[in-house]
């Protein structure tokens, strides 16, 4: 059995909010555009983590219900997106996990389970 690739967990609210492009007018649409832009990273990887990657996009609030697409699984947080991200990262025990967020408290929390954190520019140049 082969070892699963790196798990890339993306904090949708934090990454979408990192660019003032009017995302607040259509949070669901912004999350869908981010989801679609992540497909290439699933195949090609990110710096320091070659593909294929297992990509999980965590959405919350008005973005809940965004559908998954091939290459990107979308998880809708029933409450706090940060709590779901911590849960997903903790469940990745035994494999590399990278969390994309600029949220300092979230970085601390996922770091406790061994996840590595990178900033939003990693997936949003």
What's the half-sphere exposure (Cβ side, CA atoms, 13 Å) at 73? 10
- Burial of residue 82 (number of CB atoms within 10 Å: 0-12, 13-18, 19+): buried
Question: Given pLDDT bands bounded at 50, 70 and 90, which one contains residue 3?
Answer: very low
Strand partners, 75: 58
pLDDT at 37: 96
Give the model confidence (pLDDT) of 56-70 as tens digits: 999 999 999 999 999
pLDDT at 20: 85
Question: Given pLDDT bands bounded at 50, 70 and 90, which one contains residue 81?
Answer: very high
Rounded Cα gap, residues 86 and 92, in angstroms: 10
Reduced to 3 states, what is the DSSP secondary structure of residue 2?
Answer: coil
Q: What is the DSSP string of 23-47?
A: GGG-HHHHHHHHHHHHHHHHHHEET
Q: For the chain, give the mean pLDDT.
A: 93
């Amino acid at each position: 059995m082969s070892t699963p690739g790196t798990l890339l967990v993306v904090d949708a609210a934090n990454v979408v909010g990192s660019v003032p492009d009017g995302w607040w007018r259509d949070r669901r649409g912004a999350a869908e555009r981010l989801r679609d832009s992540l497909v290439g990273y699933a195949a090609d990887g990110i710096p320091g983590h070659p593909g294929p990657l297992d990509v999980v996009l965590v959405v919350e609030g008005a973005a809940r219900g965004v559908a998954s697409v091939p290459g990107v699984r979308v998880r809708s947080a029933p409450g706090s997106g940060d709590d779901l991200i911590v849960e997903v990262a903790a469940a990745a025990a035994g494999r590399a996990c990278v969390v994309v967020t600029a949220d300092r408290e979230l970085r601390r929390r996922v770091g406790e389970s061994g996840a590595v954190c990178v900033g939003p520019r990693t997936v949003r140049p």
